[in-house]
């Protein structure tokens, strides 16, 4: 997403994706009172989604999201630091951090992984490689 104006169409696509791929419905949507979501009230009402929003300028009301965001950033920073990567690879660090976190067991989820709860099977680890290692392209 490059602009906030894209949020509405992307959110509608995400709702369809969840319904089609996981045969599930989103029940609650929590926002930080951003204007891009306020205009979606009728969309939420039509689908029976509870729309919750926090008070303006109170990030402490979004505690769960803020903690998860901090967790992702800390893992991404650790990957970047350990691999001695430049800032231009920050996006790859963040994506890799989320990928790893989704495959780690959590005590909050009864020591299951988010992947396992979503797909009803344990994740495979065979595709994982050392992050930030030196690699060469070949034409073999």
Q: What pLDDT, in 10s, does the model give residues 16-67?
A: 999 999 999 999 998 877 777 888 889 999 999 999 888 777 777 778 888 8
Of 39, 57, 75, the residue that ends a domain is 57
Q: Give the C-alpha separation, 78 to 93, whole Å.
A: 9
Q: Do 37 and 81 sit in the same domain of this protein?
A: no
Q: Do 112 and 93 sit in the same domain of this protein?
A: yes
Range of the domain at 46: 7-57
**pLDDT greater than 80 at residue 90:** yes
Q: Give the C-alpha separation, 33 to 56, whole Å.
A: 6
Quote the tokens at residue 67: 């903690």
% helix, strand, coil for the chain, step of 5: 55, 5, 40
pTM: 0.76
Q: How confident is the model at residue 116 (pLDDT cuts 50, 70, 90)?
A: very high
| Tally of domains within the chain | 2
Report the share of the chain in percent with pLDDT over 70: 96
Let me know if residue 127 belongs to a domain. no
Q: Do 71 and 106 sit in the same domain of this protein?
A: yes
Let me know if residue 130 belongs to a domain. no
Let me know if residue 134 belongs to a domain. no
Q: Give the C-alpha separation, 16 to 19, whole Å.
A: 5
Task: Name residue 51's beta-bridge partners.
Answer: 29
């Amino acid at each position: 997403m490059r602009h906030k104006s894209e949020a509405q169409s992307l959110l509608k696509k995400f709702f369809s994706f969840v319904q089609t791929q996981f045969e599930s419905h989103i029940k609650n949507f929590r926002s930080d009172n951003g204007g891009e979501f306020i205009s979606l009230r009728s969309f939420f009402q039509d689908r029976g989604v509870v729309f919750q929003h926090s008070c303006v300028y109170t990030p402490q009301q979004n505690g769960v999201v803020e903690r998860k965001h901090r967790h992702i950033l800390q893992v991404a920073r650790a990957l970047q630091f350990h691999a001695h990567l430049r800032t231009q690879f920050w996006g790859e660090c963040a994506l890799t951090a989320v990928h790893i976190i989704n495959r780690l067991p959590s005590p909050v989820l009864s020591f299951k992984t988010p992947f396992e709860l979503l797909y009803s099977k344990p994740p495979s680890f065979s595709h994982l490689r050392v992050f930030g290692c030196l690699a060469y392209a070949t034409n073999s």
